[in-house]
Amino acid sequence: MEKLKKIFLGVTGGIAAYKMPDFIRLLKKEGADVHVAMTKNAELFVAPTALSVVSENRVLTANWSRQDDPFDHLNITKDADVALIAPATANFIAKMAHGIADDLLSTSVLALACPVYVAPAMNPRMLHNPSVVENLRILESRGVRVIPPESGAMACGDEGEGRLPTLETLRDVVLAAAMRIRDFTGKRIIVTAGPTEEPIDPVRCITNRSSGKMGFAIARAAVARGARVTLIHGPVAIPPPAGMESIAVRTAGEMLEALQSRFDACDMLVMAAAVSDYRAAAPALKKIKKKDAPLTLELVQSPDVLEIFGKKKGRRVIIGFAAETDDLENNAREKMRRKNLDLICANDISRADIGFGGAYNELVIIPRGREPLHTGRVTKEALAHIVLDEALKAGATAIAAPGEMK
């Protein structure tokens, strides 16, 4: 009989804590073994007894004297497959970011040796406070996965980003992480991410709106699944994930150069970067001064990085992305054919609720020789694993470029 997946759930003092009994029920229906620890403030919103009844396990509280064993804070984390802090308050996020262990839950978190997720839930003004933003950045840089909050009406009457994601979203993310095996162990994967910049003069450049979040999520997911990852990224405002080789580039030419020296040794290339299609024919060495007369800028094509490596792919799996505003599937299929890809991930950039810069995305994943997969709107973290799942399937039927040895 398959061993139950052990879920560690940390509940902190946000109003959304009242939803946790229903969340635990969802996990239990899927056969999970849920163990709960909670802060003192969380008890203002949900009773420990309620969590104990639905989880069918003892609940650890802030009152150490109620514990049966002085090592309960360690025992509860032992052999956990995945941990989730939900709702995660600004105060508890700060504790995690700075290693503070002043109650049972924060002490237990320091002992976790499994993937850790946090689901922030708070007023929009609090969520966007620079200290909270920085603390979340610190956690992400250490490998903690942040499940982005949703937008909507808050309990206080405000509107905006800060609501706890739906319980179904949390369930899907947690169970996917708990069930995940290290199925990429031994594989060498290159992931490209973010935009490139092509200089016009020392001040101005040609670029695009890519944030790098999708590529970074794929790189993190691949590391979690056992891969050796090289991340090649353009100029981005977010720190690269830990646990991998990270190479910063600026232009399409620099990205091409970084790939050329590493491609032969890789098993898979995931081109999530938005590489500039055009560059200035003759970038100015000095700043171009503003004049009354119109400025004419001559552009030439940048190297087509994806097509170059598609032509010499061998048995490597190559995955491309297609950002489209119309005729999504047909345009993506043509790009896949032209660049000899095994898989292409197409998204509709005309939509305001997904894509560039956001926490969510929605893809049509088109594999060679199989029906497309429509992912629906999900977090980029969850989407990264879906892409890797499809990449594994594509690996079994990877086709060499025309003229190459198969």
Residue 1 lies inside a defined structural domain of this protein: no
CATH number, domain with residue 56:
3.40.50.1950
Residue 305 lies inside a defined structural domain of this protein: yes
DSSP three-state, residue 83: strand
Q: Which domain holds residue 21?
A: 6-179
Same domain flag for 19 and 129: yes
Residue 405 lies inside a defined structural domain of this protein: no
Residue 402 lies inside a defined structural domain of this protein: no
Comparing C-alpha atoms, which of 308, 325, 304, 316 is closest to residue 343? 316
pLDDT by 10s per residue, the chain, length 406: 346 789 999 999 999 999 999 999 999 998 999 999 999 999 999 999 999 999 999 999 987 767 777 788 888 999 999 999 999 999 999 999 999 999 999 999 999 988 899 999 999 999 999 999 999 989 988 888 899 898 888 888 888 889 999 999 899 888 888 876 678 999 999 999 999 999 999 999 999 989 999 999 999 889 888 899 999 999 998 888 888 999 999 999 999 999 999 999 999 999 999 999 999 999 999 999 988 888 899 999 999 999 999 999 998 999 999 988 899 999 999 999 999 999 999 998 888 777 677 778 899 999 998 899 998 888 788 889 899 999 999 886 655 555 443 3
Reported pTM:
0.69
> Facing residues of 230 across strands?
190, 245
CATH number, domain with residue 214:
3.40.50.10300
Residue 153 lies inside a defined structural domain of this protein: yes
In sequence order, which residues have a C-beta less than 8 Å from that of residue 9 and are 6 or more positions away? 20, 23, 24, 34, 35, 36, 37, 55, 83, 84, 86
Domain count of the fold of the chain: 2
Residue 68 lies inside a defined structural domain of this protein: yes
Peptide bond into 87 cis (omega under 30): yes
Catalytic residues: 156
Residue 359 lies inside a defined structural domain of this protein: yes
C-beta of residue 73 within 8 angstroms of C-beta of residue 60: yes
Same domain flag for 171 and 215: no
Residue type, 186: G
C-beta of residue 193 within 8 angstroms of C-beta of residue 272: yes
